[in-house]
Amino acid sequence: MRPGLPSIFPQPPAWVLPQAKYDLDFRNMRYWGGTEAISSVLGNNGRIGSLVAGPQSGSTGLYAPDGNGLLVGFAAYVPRITLGKGLWAEQARTNVCLYCRDMTNAVWSKTNMTATRNQVGADGVANGATSLTATAANATCLQSITAAANSRVTSGYVRRLAGTGPISMTQDNAATWTPLTLTNGYAVVNVPSATVTNPVVGFKIETSGDSIAVDFVQCEIGTYPTTPILTTSAAATRLNEEPAFGDVAASSAAWGAHALLKDVFSGRGPWSFYGEYAGNPEVGSGWFMASDGPPNVAGGCNGGAFTFMGSTTSNNGTQGLANINKVAGRVTGIGSQACINGGSLSTLNTGAAGKPQPGASITHVGLGNNGAGNSSGPLNGYIARMTFWASEITDGQMIEFTR
């Protein structure tokens, strides 16, 4: 099997959790689906076989980091899955910083600074990034952007090439400078979010002769920077991402058109799940998965509690792309319960919403979203793993899995 392709197994391999019906290890790009055929070839709509549908927006010029920090580019409609991280799902953002990789372009105004596009980029591509070298003290490279007042965050992939002097970044025309801590490897750096009208973004190198490599500069509305959106002569937009189980366009019949929905969620018996995810949700609670009918699973990565089918944990999750939250839940004829990060089980929800929903009208289950746009509280991060059982897992398993 070639590296990076989903794996197909005739019997559950050792990494699959015991008795799991489906185990989707996005982090390691290996998938177990019982009798479901999981193809290693992506279809026109970016499916992994028929199991996971890619985002329907068709956005291009999108990237996401893998576990080593290397950026990976993705074609339209393909689920953004990176080795070492997982399946990405982010809200709509627009990068208004032009020529985000090429600071030799005239939109970037250089003062006592030379720019040469001669550096290996954050995506590993030769001559993808720009080197900036100070020819005198306090050299700057700035871009003026026409944009209405809004809370914005400006970020970029930056590494040090030469020197040890201070390097800083601005988005308010040098009214304030944010000091950067750099090494010889690319790291995402950003100016803290602030309300800005007509931002002027860029870099300052204080010591003559010092130099840095810069790639994927991004100015977007929001509190936290998101993954890169490539620009050249015009601003570019990543539409709201909606990877899902099933057909997010709702063109297929309920349940029967999708094996996971049919095998796990639509039965009259109990079912359970386990998941790992990280994110920076800015709207709502940050969905782990949700549908146009039960089940609905949300929360945890925004620093709040985790909710599953109306049952909410007493302990909280942790926000941030470096903070993996581990969650589990089960639904039986008695009710639903959830667990996050090894905490105690939530109070049993014995209401109708906390019990199996046989024959419910459902066409999809959104992954990291609920398919309703930015207002729905997207994950703004990645799902590392999702495991499902068409049975009830125990209290001990829920706590042990999520430690």
Q: What is the mean pLDDT of the chain?
A: 86
pLDDT band at 291 (very low <50, low <70, confident <90, very high): confident
At 322-342, the pLDDT tens digits run 999 999 999 998 999 999 999
Q: What is the pLDDT of residue 135?
A: 98
pLDDT tier for residue 292 given thresholds of 50, 70 and 90: low
Residue 187 has pLDDT above 60, yes or no: yes
pLDDT at 1 (0 to 100): 33
Which three-class secondary structure state does DSSP give residue 401? helix
Give residue 224's pLDDT band: very low, low, confident or very high (50, 70, 90): very high
Least confident range from 8-12, 189-193, 267-271, 354-358: namely 8-12
pLDDT at 97 > cutoff 60 = yes
- The beta-strand segments (E) located in 222-368 are 236-238, 244-246, 271-279, 287-291, 297-299, 305-308, 311-316, 320-331, 336-340, 364-367
Q: Using CA of residue 104, residue 110, residue 116, residue 122, what is the dihedral sign?
A: negative
Task: Classify 193 as helix, strand or coil.
Answer: strand
Mean pLDDT of all residues in 282-287: 74
The average pLDDT across 183-192 equals 98
pLDDT at 371: 67
Q: So what's the pLDDT on residue 370? A: 77
Q: Locate 227 and state its tokens.
A: 């993954």
CA–CA distance, 295 with 308 (Å, rounded to integer): 8
**DSSP one-letter code for 285:** T
CATH fold for the domain made of 22-91+241-401: Jelly Rolls (2.60.120)
Partners of residue 291 on adjacent β-strands:
365
Q: pLDDT confidence of 191, banded at 50, 70, 90?
A: very high
For residue range 364-375, what is the model confidence (pLDDT) as tens digits?
Answer: 778 888 766 555
What pairs with residue 214 in β-bridges? 130, 158
pLDDT digits (tens, 9 = 90+) for 46-94: 445 556 777 767 889 999 999 999 999 998 888 899 999 999 999 899 9
The 10s digit of each residue's pLDDT in 241-281 is 888 876 544 444 333 346 676 677 766 689 999 999 999 98
Phi then psi dihedrals of residue 384, to 5 deg: -85, -35
Predicted pLDDT at 265: 73
User: What residue segments make up the domains of the chain, in order of their start?
Assistant: 22-91+241-401, 95-238
Q: Which two tokens stand for residue 131?
A: 């080197």
CB of 236 closer than 8 Å to CB of 355:
no
Give the single-character DSSP code of 58: -
Helix, strand, coil shares of the chain, percent, nearest 5, are 5, 40, 55
Judged by DSSP in three states, 144 sits in strand
User: What does the pLDDT average to over 117-135?
Assistant: 98
Q: Which CATH architecture has domain 95-238?
A: Sandwich (2.60)
Which pLDDT belongs to residue 363? 66
Is a pLDDT exceeding 90 seen at residue 282? no
pLDDT band at 361; cut points 50, 70, 90: low
Which run of H or E residues covers position 24? strand 22-25
Same fold for the domain at 22-91+241-401 and the one at 95-238?
Answer: yes
211 within 8 A of 115, measured Cβ to Cβ: no
More confident site: 363 or 257: 363
Q: Report the DSSP beta bridge partners of residue 271.
A: 331
Q: Which residue has the higher pLDDT, 87 or 358?
A: 87
Confidence of residue 41 (pLDDT cuts 50, 70, 90): very low
The kind and range of the H/E element at 399 are helix 395-401
CA dihedral over 236, 70, 50, 362, signed as positive or negative: negative
Give the pLDDT band (50/70/90) at residue 354. Answer: confident
Give the highest mean pLDDT range of 26-30, 66-70, 299-303: 66-70
Distance between start and end Cα atoms, the chain = 32
Please report the pLDDT score of residue 310 as a whole number. 87
Neighbouring residues of 170: CB distance < 8 A, sequence distance ≥ 6: 142, 176, 177, 178, 191, 200, 201, 202, 203, 204
Please confirm whether the linkage preceding 295 is cis (ω < 30° from 0). yes
d(CA 342, CA 31): 25
pLDDT at residue 56 in the model: 67
Mean pLDDT confidence for 136-164: 98
